[in-house]
A = this chain, B = another copy of it.
Amino acid sequence: MIRISLDLMGGDFGPEVVIPGAAKALERHPDITFIMYGMKDRCEPILGKYAKLREKSVFHECDVSISMDEKPSQALRRGRYVSSMWRSIEAVKLGEADVVVSAGNTGALMAMAKFCLRTMANIERPAIAAIWPTLRGESIVLDVGATIGADSQQLLDFALMGGAMARALFEIERPTIGLLNVGVEEIKGQEDVKEAGRLIREANLESLEYSGFVEGDDIGKGTVDVVVTEGFSGNIALKAAEGTAKQIGAYLRSAMTRTLLARIGYLFAKGAFDLLREKLDPSKVNGGVFLGLNGIVIKSHGGASAEAFAAAIDVGYDMAKNGLTQKIENDLKRYHAKRQPPIGPEAA
């Protein structure tokens, strides 16, 4: 049984999307139980329509809902202890849930998650990991925007956490890791990235295989299982890629409707186009994973559809089932044990 806690009020549509999304996820994974947090008058009527889901869920009433444009500090002040967002995270802290999924605003969710769950021992900064569709399947990219800038030690932490997530998600034993860099040689400013490369290589980690530097176009190629970078460039890479996918989609639609021949061709090739649409469908890959906290938090896109929200629940389900937090903790422990070997009897 996997216990998933849901912030019903998160996202652009709140319970209208979260509840149907949960129902879809439950069909795929009948061993889920849900703990739900939301405003009674908005949630109960919708929940009433899903008898099976209702049966596998406990609903908790909350009077406070965090809005999508609320600043993190404001959200914390107003919503700590009482909001659906806070309480759904708290369920993980209290051991009542294995993972929390929210489509709420990223800044507020991260602020509350940090405040409530705290970062893991030896982790300075949490990261947001994205699942990126590639020509070879899927890769993990982190950090895509939890914090800006990262020193070499933090990049190594990201590598460790991303590696653990790859093992949990893709079920591969020793994922390959690359550090995102620019190709130009000998320009200043890459010191942290270069130093991180040295640190990771020297750490000689059992849990991952370090493949060196990768560039922006390696992400889509699937050159490595995990791409590590600091949050500013990671966020920009993610959004630039999303923008390009939308742009090409728009070109394609306009090209396919421009002439009669094109429209006829489209009809013949509709199956192929449907396949392509599925490949590019953002609802198939949804769910940023907050790494480095004492508990698993999954962030769904705010504008996600029910199908997409269900995909985010799937990610949370997999992460919990495969013991993501334990995997990260073990990898960190192993790394730090090697790094600072106990000396003399006092160390025991």
Residues of A within 8 A of B (CB): 71-73, 106-107, 110, 134-135, 145-149, 180, 182-190, 215-221, 229, 231-233, 235-248, 250-252, 255-256, 258-259, 261-262, 264-273, 275-276, 279-280
Contacts and interface: CB of A to CB of B under 8 A. Distances in A.
Contacts of A148: 182, 187-190
Contact of A246 (B217, B232, B247): B217
Shortest 4 CB-CB distances between A and B: which pairs?
A: A216-B239, A265-B269, A148-B189, A265-B268
A144 to B, nearest CB: 9
A99 to B, nearest CB: 22
B185 A71 contact: yes
A190 B230 CA distance: 13
A219 B231 contact: no
B187 A216 contact: no
Interface of A is mostly: helix
Given A190-B232, A258-B275, 10 more contacts: A72-B185, A145-B183, A182-B235, A219-B240, A219-B243, A220-B240, A220-B246, A233-B233, A255-B269, A259-B272
A281 B63 CA distance: 54
A255 B276 contact: yes
Nearest to A69: B185
Contacts of A280: 248, 251
A275 B255 contact: yes
A236 B216 contact: yes
A82 B177 CA distance: 42
Nearest to A280: B248
Contact of A220 (B106, B247, B279): B247
Contacts of A256: 269, 272
Nearest to A277: B255
Given A149-B189, A216-B239, A236-B233, A248 B246 contact: no
Contacts of A275: 255, 258
Contacts of A218: 243
Contacts of A251: 276, 279-280
8 contacts: A73-B186, A106-B184, A148-B182, A187-B231, A217-B240, A245-B248, A251-B276, A251-B280
Nearest to A221: B243
Most buried by B among A146, A219, A243, A256: A243
Contacts of A238: 216, 240
B271 A189 contact: no
A333 to B, nearest CB: 28
Nearest to A275: B255
A253 to B, nearest CB: 10
Contact of A147 (B135, B187, B220): B187
A183 B258 CA distance: 35
